[in-house]
Structure 1
Amino acid sequence: MLIAFLATGAVGAVTPAEEHIGPPYQDAPEMVARPDIPHGRLQSFIMTSAESGIFPGIRQLDNDITRRRDAWGNRIAAPAAEQSEAGPYRRDVFVYIPAGYRKGREVPFIVVQDGRDYAARMAAALDSLIAQKRVPMMVAVMIQSGGGDAQGSERGLEYDTLSGRYAEFVEQEVLPRAARLYGITFTKDPNGRAAMGGSSGAAAAFSMAWFHPEWYRKVLSYSGTFVNQASPVDPATPHGAWDYHARLIPDNPRKPIRIWMAVGEKDLHWQDPAETFRNWPMANDRMAAALKARGYDYHYVIAKDAVHVDGNVIAQTLPAALEWLWRDYPR
């Protein structure tokens, strides 16, 4: 595992760029709802595939081709036409609106993938952090995927594809709907826009910033799927998100992206060799090394004995991660 220290944070402050944490894990106090502070409200709406011009909907096929596995149990890539077919979806979108927000006021925000999994935790954390003025007043837009998982699924297409398509979906179809429904004016300042997710949702969050840094410059990643899971296969990035740390970050000028990331010591396929391109702890280690070599503003947490998108790790670290990401943004 990597151990290194970089100068980060406020001017004059030196904080560890990489740290190890371990059990017993404890929920951060900010994760407990408090009656003595203002509470934001959670709203929700539904989006369907029929309404989308960007993601009209697919679903996984279950056949002999898609069930094939290699020696390590990983799915063997198949032609896109043999992995999926057209299929409708419905997705929930949850919107956290902070207490005291006035309609029409420009506001920073965070977009969260697999939104249902994080809605309650984000609301509790943001209530506390905003009340304590440790982060700016902000909105959270928490978007459920179109369903399924990994190759051939709508979720896999949205999250594991290395392109700007998902960010464009959020920008063109999700944010305008939320703005109309709730009177929100989302900031256009890319430093006031963050993206977050776990697993493939974390890869999607990084892709939002990588392909559209004019829109997003903050990323929060839990157990990022920086491995080979993209479908359909793109010849330009044949190893999917593994290519972020193998080629894309090392071979391109540094982009204005700040990223907080965590991985479990016993995350998915933690014992698999590098040639599988599917070892999550190894992929996140290499991601941190690539970010460090290019001089990115990053913070990397390695969680001892933790597993994939470990809820105990999230409950302990989410408030501090949000505060670190927004540390120099105006309150």
Structure 2
Amino acid sequence: MFASSLTAQEPNIELRYAHGPDSFRKAGTPEGKVTMHVWKNSKVFPGTIRRYWTYVPAQYQAGKPAALMVFQDGHAYIKDGGDFNTATVFDNLIHQGEMPVTIGIFIDPGHLKDELPPEPGWQPRPENRSVEYDTLSDAYATFLLTEILAEVEKQYTITKDPEGRAICGMSSGGICAWTVAWERPDQFRKVLSHIGSFTNIRGGHNYPALIRKGSDKKPIRVFLQDGDNDLDNLHGNWPLANKQMYAALKFREYDVKFVYGQGAHNGNHGGAIFPDSLRWLWQDYELK
């Protein structure tokens, strides 16, 4: 027994990744404005209520189209001091000319309640999250375009160019981001997935085959991030699923980048490389 214990495979050690200077506020950098909103009476997802936030950069000019980036589990991405610090990263990269003037929309999944919990977050768990994020259909894209984006566009001018529209998420929000672009590449052509749930929660494990055997390659640029210590459960193995996605996308010659590390099912690694992910995603893009 002693000998066998010596030869047993050691578990992977989760690394904690350090954030770089673009994840923190810099003196002299103009700050965008973040505003919280509540959305209820959804027609696509009836009976739900949710928060969403908008970020408008200081450089935005009324009437002049801005680029767009949408985030699922919006509270996690917009949280000041969180893993992603998105408003600060946007402030820095826009000011430095490393991404276009971009309006951000940060959407939380729906609660099946009359009133929202006092604070945003995953506890209590939004009951409609898996239905919205893990389902392989155009339902969430329709909700996003006809409800949330339509409401935001009443106040701000956003480019109609799908190359100027990106969508991002983590875990089930990551597969949701991919599904939106997959279903509506006429609207979104840039995807950023952190620890994406391309597993059999609601059929997401089928995507590699759909990508490989699809008749047409879709004009989507996609950045994937995952790590050795991600989940392995009854739905599937997250590291393997992300490797399968990357292999399928590479096989079909998609514009894809995959950063694989030793992180777990959290936002630490994705947050640490977030500024570089955005630089890659927005490379060569100029607002029209």
TM-score (norm 2): 0.85
How far apart are the structure 1 equivalents of 2:226 and 2:76? 18
Residue 28 of structure 1 contacts residue 315 of structure 1 at CA under 8 Å; is this kept in 2? Answer: no
Q: Which amino acid aligns with 2:244?
A: R
Correspondent of 1:132 among 93, 96, 100: 96
1:217 Cα shift? 0.5
Q: How many residues align?
A: 256
Kindly report structure 1 stretches of 4+ aligned residues shifted beyond 6 Å.
none
Partner of 1:78: none
Following superposition, the deviation at residue 32 of structure 1 comes to: 0.5
Give the aligned partner of residue 250 of structure 1: 212
The answer on whether the counterparts of 1:41 and 1:98 sit within 8 Å (CA) in structure 2 is yes
Alpha-carbon shift at residue 201 of structure 1 (Å): 0.3
Contact 2:16 2:269 in 1 (8 A): no
Say yes or no: does 1:297 pair with 2:261: no
Q: Cα gap change, 1:24/1:176 in structure 2, threshold over 3 Å: closer, same or farther?
A: closer
Which of 2, 12, 26 is the aligned partner of 2:18? 26
Q: Following TM superposition, by how much is the alpha carbon of 1:25 offset from its aligned partner in structure 2, in angstroms?
A: 1.7
SS in 1 for 2:61: coil
Whole-Å separation in 1 of the counterparts to 2:235 and 2:229: 16
Q: 1:324 aligned to 2:280?
A: yes
Alpha-carbon distance, 1:164 to partner: 1.1
Q: Deviations over 1:118-156 (max 9, x none)?
A: 01311011000001000011011000001488xx94111
SS in 1 for 2:71: strand
Give 1:35 deviation, angstroms: 2.7
| Aligned-partner residue type, residue 229 of structure 2 | K
After superposition, where does 1:1-331 map in structure 2 within 5 Å?
Answer: 23=15, 25-48=17-40, 51-57=41-47, 89-119=48-78, 120=80, 121-147=85-111, 153-180=127-154, 183-230=155-202, 240-245=203-208, 247-252=209-214, 253-269=216-232, 278-304=236-262, 306-308=263-265, 310-330=266-286
Q: CA RMSD in A?
A: 1.7
SS of residue in 2 equivalent to 1:195 = strand
Aligned-residue sequence identity (percent) comes to 38
Cα distance in 1 for partners of 2:46, 2:259 equals: 37
